[in-house]
Structure 1
Amino acid sequence: MNELLEAASRYAEANHHAGIAVTPFPGLVILRETTPTALLYAVSKPLVAVVLQGRKRVAMGNRLFEFGAGESLIVTADVPTVSQVITASRNEPYLALVVELDHVLIESLVVEMGTAPFTVGEPVRVDPTEGEVADAALRLLRLLDRPRSVEILKDQLLRELHYWLLSGRHGGAIRALGIASSHAQRISRAIARIREDFAKPLRVEQLADEAGMSLSGFHVHFRTITSLTPLQYQKQLRLIEARRFMLDGLPIAKAAYDVGYESIPQFTREYGRLFGTSPAKDIREVKVRLGTSA
């Protein structure tokens, strides 16, 4: 892990912007923070975050996860999360390698790897980072010192990384993402539709039909995979998107209407329930923090 930490630290220090160092590898970034952060609200895509230094806390629903160096966060569904870096300094920044799980790669590997069980359980997990995963990640980062090799070798190394993830302790949950007939894959298609049309009225019956499920079965599997009902999921997505719009300078009323709200009082109430304060106060405090840290 020390070599992986050194490689990630060197690249992130030279290439990060606003705490994120983008790499030439699709779906792979390095997170770097030199101070503890405020709460970050987001809808996480399926991913693996390999923590190399520092500590972080992530909440999903009523579950709280705290993890640090040598551990990995595995997210196997598009779920709303609240995260916060809690241990970081200039001398020892928080560093994490984040890889978005590639559905196409997973589907291809599942076919090649043959029959094996897949599971659906909690969409967020924390466990020790497995040696094969860390080794594959290190060889990926080493390509950054040899730019000409990146285009030639990146696909096979990303494929190998996904293989080791599928072979590991959470392979069953990740495998479900690559099986078209699995409940995880069907629900992921419904989630993609909700994310695409989040500002439109939610037609749960239509989503259930598209997923090939009964209405009751769709509700059960959606909640099992995301920990939320479809309406709760859409509501959180709308509020998180509205917050992002307002941080980009959009007025409160315009942000509320753009994400599908017709009532500003309703938007304000629901915003307060999720974020713990009013939209105006929240955005003002975040901008003050950003100004202080700039």
Structure 2
Amino acid sequence: MTEPHNHPGNPPDRPHPGRWTDLERPPLGLRALRRGLILPGGLWTSLDVVEATGSTNTDLAARAAGGAAEGAVLVAEEQTAGRGRLDRRWSAPARSGIFFSVLLRPGPGVPVERLGWLPLLTGVAVATGLARAAGVDTALKWPNDLLVTVDGEERKAGGILAERAGADAVVVGVGLNVSLRADELPVPTAGSLALANAVSLDRDTLLRAVLRSLERWYGQWREAGGDPAASRLQEAYTAGCATLGRRVRAELPGGRELVGEAVAVDGDGRLVVATDDGGLHPVSAGDIVHVRGA
């Protein structure tokens, strides 16, 4: 990981000539973010903003290996090699979105088999935070996509990637398109908060809201020993999941496919697909396609 040039490598709060010339996309206000998020007894223990990096998940995983404390947050103004599931790339213009990773160490009180709920938990937290701060209804596509409605159509505006980082740590990364215009979208089916008519595109406000929401949901879930029912996480995810009740095609590892109706998310966070022959199939990994017209 390359060390940024000014300790701890964060862009200044005030714009300066050169890089920060797009007045519609100002840099994040680091000092204000730290004041609002790093609080005594709170989850967040450090917050750094770098001008650009390949992947905040990769960088934070390296910090985790070096013993970084739980609650470390790493934000990038620009991410040049961000990754989604299946090593898909995620990139966007500088300061056009929110790209960050958090380091979580759930501890022995959470069984390892429940760690699969962390990307779903993050989705619920992001959707909850954006509803409050941006006035946007964000739906969740299992397992890790964030959807907004643009001109009556569902569009992917963000994604989540959770990765183990050693024996006891998980790094969860979030990428969210905030101010992307139609001509900047990586693919026509993508979306952004701007295109979804968000009431606020202030990234400081949005990032604070998302991280506070994530702190609340993670705290409830960990207090419940990772139990998705007792923490009400399963209920919240089910309520916000756009995949449920839809006809889907699950593209499974090994080139297999499964077509049917997505009927539930089970206690292990798996998507349960009911096929036309009456079978129920829990899917733990795979690409889910919402079949149009169903």
TM-score relative to the length of structure 1: 0.28
Q: Which has the higher helix share?
A: 1
Question: Larger Cα Rg: Structure 1 or Structure 2?
Answer: 1
TM-score relative to the length of structure 2: 0.28
Q: Which has the higher strand share?
A: 2
